[in-house]
Amino acid sequence: MTQNMTGMVTRSGTAPAMPEIVTPASARALFWRPRFLRPSPDLCHLPFLFWLTDLARPRVFASLGLGDGVAYFATCQAIDRLGRESLCHGVSADPAAPELRDHNDSEYDDISRLSTGTARSLAAQMADGTVDLLTVHGVPDTETVAALNDEWPRKMSARGVIVLHGVAHWPAHGPARLYLDRLGRDHPVISFEEGAGLVAVLWGADQPGQLADLARLDPMAPGAGEVRHVFRRLGSAVQTEWAARDSAERADLAQARATAAETALAELEAERDATARSLAELRDTHEARSREVAVLQAKLESAEALRDATGLSDLMHRHGAAQEELGTLRARLTEAEARAAEGRRVEAEARAVAEAAEQARIEAEKIAADRVAAKDRALQQLGAQLAASRDQTAAREAEAEAARRARADVLALTTQLEAGREDRDAVNRDLQALKASYAAQREEIARLHTEADHLRAERDEAQGHVAALVSSTSWKLTSPVRRLILGLRRLRGG
């Protein structure tokens, strides 16, 4: 495995196409909706993690590092949804962020434990051969790599899987890269380059068939692009869902701000109206006081003319009081005008904030609507692809059933052929025996013919002797004696 990963790195070998890997039973996990969503490079990998967890059914899940928590809590969610009596262990060098701890305590306090420690300290808590799923977040340091090489191999089970997050940011050289390259040489792997990169290593030999098939899938084989397309589109749908949710939250925040601005604007308008009324009252009072001062001023001038000391003193006192009250009224008028000006400024700012909030809400709703529509289109396309996959699966199952029947027929014919061959061999053996018997019989016939020839020759020779004897004189002379003997034999026999 090199630094420049391909979209999906697999071992060589013949593997089935997508419909046989992502079956309807396992495909349900691909559409699970994650509960914990945050901006994260792992968002695009959540459908694969759900699918992997559904297939692997881990009894013990350990995570070295938590990252932003998105991938860790997605795995916890899958285990919780499967109803497994499993344990999840998350360890990090620093205490978990309050947000992560609060979510863990509220959602997974019965199955998940977050702790502060190292890869070695967590390995010490694990029994040998029990860890079915191990994840590593971030670039592992030298100590973590040493623990992965020394401690964790004996902790992994026969069906263990190791998932490495963020491998695109791992340095090209160093212990982490050497560890990754060694895993790629020694074990089947599945690799994705989306986000910050993800590598799933099939550590144990006892793996689910679909997971092993995906690891063996040739990138150039029919269906490989379809598999990659499914994971990529579903990962994009998760990212779209997060963007839509974030846009909705921002729209809600903008709406709340707009509502607050409208409330503040209403309050400012009410205060402005009250200030305007106060200002009008102050102006009326000021005009009345001004008229009173003018009257007093006229009286003062008349009093000076009449040199009325008593009236002058009283008028001077009243004039001073009026002047003081006039100054107070002018100060209040100035303050009221300043408050009115400030109210107009705040009103203008509130209207600007409300208009900006309304514009942000409109834009957020439009973005959310566009992304929801895109997600719906993607889901419809995926539904159509899954339907087509089911049809292909049914057709392949029918072809497989026909192939099984054909194999049964061939097996029956082979059995009959073997029986025919045995019969043929028996017939050949009988034929050879018959041929041997026939050859023996021919030899016996030839011998009998030879003996017959000898007998015929002896017979002919005997007949010649008899003829010679009959024709001889002694035979003729003894003829009466032979007749007499023959007559006596007949008499005795009678």
Q: Encode the chain (494 residues) as per-residue pLDDT tens digits.
A: 443 444 444 444 444 445 466 665 567 888 899 999 999 999 999 999 999 999 999 999 999 999 999 999 999 999 999 987 899 999 999 999 999 999 999 999 999 999 999 999 999 999 999 999 999 999 999 999 999 999 999 999 999 999 999 999 999 999 999 999 999 999 999 999 888 999 999 999 999 988 888 888 876 666 667 777 788 888 888 888 888 887 777 777 777 777 777 777 777 778 777 777 877 787 787 777 777 777 777 776 666 555 555 555 665 666 677 677 767 777 777 777 777 777 777 677 767 766 776 776 677 677 767 766 766 776 677 667 666 666 776 677 677 677 677 677 767 677 777 777 777 777 778 778 878 877 888 888 888 888 888 888 888 887 777 777 767 776 667 777 777 777 777 777 65
Q: Between helices 224-306 and 309-470, what is the axis angle to 10°?
A: 180
CA–CA distance, 137 with 166 (Å, rounded to integer): 7
User: Are 319 and 296 a contacting pair, CB within 8 Å?
Assistant: yes
23-42: b (≥16 Cβ within 10 Å) or e: eeebbebbebebebbbebbb
Beta bridge partners, 62, equal 89, 134
Res 147: pLDDT: 95
Q: Which residues contact 30 (CB under 8 A, 6 or more apart)?
A: 22, 47, 50, 51, 230, 231, 234
- Closest by Cα among 28, 106, 38, 26 to 66: 38
* The CATH number of domain 247-378 is 1.20.120: no
Domain residue ranges of the chain, discontinuous segments joined by +: 18-222, 247-378
Annotation: CATH topology of 18-222: Rossmann fold (3.40.50)
Residues contacting residue 444 through CB under 8 Å, at least 6 positions apart: none
Q: Which has the closest alpha carbon to 114: 131, 132, 99, 127?
A: 99
Sorted by sequence, the CB contacts under 8 Å of residue 245 that are 6+ apart come out as 37
* pLDDT score, position 380: 74
What is the per-residue pLDDT for 137?
95
Enumerate residues 6+ apart whose C-beta is below 8 A from 350. Answer: 261, 262, 264, 265, 268
Q: pLDDT value at position 40?
A: 93
Four-residue CA torsion sign, 183, 89, 60, 37: negative
| pLDDT for residue 10 | 43
